[in-house]
Structure 1
Amino acid sequence: MSKADVAARAITDRLAPGSALVDVEKVAVDLGVAVVRQDTDQAVDAMLIRRDGRVAIGLNGARPVVTQRFTLAHMIGHYRMHARRDLLLDGLLRRRHARLSSIPTDREEAEANRFAGALLVPEKAAREAAVRADCSTGADLVDALAGEFQVSRLVMGYRLVLLGVIIDA
């Protein structure tokens, strides 16, 4: 189990034991993080700011709800695991700078992504939901569980592969 998995599990075990749908806003509030949304057409999905002992995460409210949930979980991951960062911008500009549109190119981004997946799709809840689901293919399972957990198909597919529930998303 990775550092990101352990950090996310500690939160879900405390705040959402046995729940499939994690209230990521509640997680932020519990951690003392203010969440601010601003609709914008800019290429920024989120920002994390630490100042004078306070922390705020700003989200682009114009993004789809599943994107906002993942982005907030991702930024909480940065907050919990990468304490030396006082300002972090996340979005299209950062991904373009890395020359890859959706694949993290550094350890911190990969950890924050893994944390977000583990926070939004807790292992126990995912396994239980997969057993309950009446699906004949991995793709059907991804579709069914993405809706239940309110995450994108990409996030759910990645998480189910990582957990060994399916072989290929």
Structure 2
Amino acid sequence: MTTADWALIISLLSFCVSLAGFVWNVWSKFIFPKARVQVHFSVNILIQEGEPDHEMLVLHATNFGPGEITLHTAIGRAQPSKFKKLTHLMLNPLHNFPLELNRTVGPFSGGLPRKIQPGESHSAYFVLLHEAFRDQPIVDVGFSDTFGRSHWATRKQVAAVRRAVKEAYRNA
């Protein structure tokens, strides 16, 4: 092989690498960009002047980009036993929070569906004395988006919230 043959082979290889990088960039940026959503689930205290403090369950999602995303519903998964499939649940957030602390109008209350841009967040609120979190073996809580993807809080957070709900029922 001559020097010209080697130069041609190296040029073709570098062309293939450049083409692959170009296709990947177009695919990831324009054709199928997935927004990364971080979900957090916790028990928070609502402090209002002149009102008693209220403990609330808060499901919070933050969009880390690269594109906007529409949060469709608040969802959960329960596992009745180790050998059964996960059961999917729709959660009903509080409507018109913090003005009304005990009213929901179904799975699309609480400002859902909600479009959030990168860097923005959305919170869904639930009452602390929530029978489903006490009675159902819920292992996952999160949001679903309009593409059908699910974004979950960590199971450690869900377990901590379930313990807090059970404790609140014992004290009530």
TM-score class, shorter-chain normalisation, is under 0.3
> Larger C-alpha radius of gyration, 1 or 2?
2
Tell me the TM-score normalized by structure 2.
Answer: 0.23
